[in-house]
Structure 1
Amino acid sequence: MEASYKFYLVLVFAMFFTKQALAAQHVVGGSQGWDESTDFSSWSSGQTFKVGDQLVFKYTALHSVVELGSDSAYKNCDIGSATDSMNGGNSVVKLNKAGTRYFACGTLGHCDQGMKVTIKTVSAADASSAPGSSSSSTPNSTSAASAFHFATSFILLIASMSGFLFII
């Protein structure tokens, strides 16, 4: 009976860490970060954003991040209608559902100068056919693979400590 309990505990850990390992963190703007010199349209077109992934905005005190609620607000840089506002230089946004989200810099004039990005999030089922979904397309796939290997190692460690690692 106790062996069965340990097996299910390991299985729960495996499912939790595998789900976490498959989520990616996307540093908005890549190595340039959230800055007015970045071409966000080009950057985002090469990415696949999946439900569960995170956007990481890295920026200086000169900038901020505002989320806009509509395509119209985005196109017109209507930062006064922001649904959320973040500052502090390192903001993380979880992509918790499929759909389109709009972000811009809240500093006066920066959005008009192109410091804005549209993020189209797809469900995990749709991600395999999305642009940028191949494993060599983004550096994020490397971090997801590293996280997956870490999770797998952790699960094997727990399994071996529990006596469930069978040598084949």
Structure 2
Amino acid sequence: MIAKVAFAAQHVVGGSQGWDQSTDFKSWSSGQTFKVGDKLVFKYSSLHSVVELGNANAYKNCDISSPIQSLGTGNDVVKLDKPGTRYFTCGTLGHCSQGMKLKITIIKGNAPSPTLSPSSSPSPSSITPPSSTSSPTTVIDASSASQCFTSFFFLLASSLTLMVSLIKQS
């Protein structure tokens, strides 16, 4: 459980542009894989807000009259807690119809994702930083093998600490 939470991805909605009218959210989201346990991070100015819509019809028609939730801090985090489709838009009048809306599909968290294999690690020169113009801003989550490996060592270290503590007490 601890390892799963530690390796969840945080998707900054819209990448470097954030939650803004100038962002092409359809294009941005097509380059993402959203998994259960991941988080969406909405960063925006006071001109905007985040409204979660309940269904495809409300999304298509920009109907914000019955939102699931409305957020307005400018730095909102939404946890993706189950598989399925979720719909978001800006609550500012006219912004949804101008394209400031996001539809995502969340998959189960144990699906394969593009990650480094646990047996290899890149040299610093082989790591390419994301482009600020077109690349999505995402913290990539670890592979299932890496999560298992990390969990194993966490449990091993905890067990050893407990055993040493018990030996000292006797």
Normalized against structure 2, the TM-score is what? 0.71
Where 2:68 maps in the other structure, the secondary structure is strand
Q: Sort the Cα spacing of 1:69 and 1:163 in 2 relative to 1 into closer, same or farther, 3 A.
A: closer
Q: Count the aligned residue pairs.
A: 141
CA–CA separation in structure 1 for the residues paired with 2:59 and 2:14:
17
Contact 2:12 2:137 in 1 (8 A): no
Partner residue, 1:88: 73
Q: Sort the Cα spacing of 1:141 and 1:88 in 2 relative to 1 into closer, same or farther, 3 A.
A: closer
Where 1:124 maps in the other structure, the secondary structure is coil
Structure having the higher helix fraction is 1
- How many percent identity over aligned positions? 62
Q: How does 1:79-118 map to 2 (within 5 A)?
A: 79-118=64-103
CA–CA separation in structure 2 for the residues paired with 1:32 and 1:139:
10
Partner residue, 2:138: 140
CA–CA separation in structure 1 for the residues paired with 2:75 and 2:67:
19
**Shift of the alpha carbon at 1:47?**
0.5
Q: What are structure 1's unaligned runs of at least 5 residues?
A: 1-15
Q: What are structure 2's unaligned runs of at least 5 residues?
A: 117-134, 164-170
| Letter matched to residue 93 of structure 1 | V
Consecutive aligned runs of 4 or more in structure 1 exceeding 4 Å deviation: 136-139, 158-161
Contact 2:10 2:139 in 1 (8 A): no
Normalized against structure 1, the TM-score is what? 0.72
CA RMSD, Structure 1 to Structure 2 (Å): 3.0
Where 2:138 maps in the other structure, the secondary structure is helix
Partner residue, 1:48: 33
Q: Deviations over 1:21-46 (max 9, x none)?
A: 22111111111100000000011011
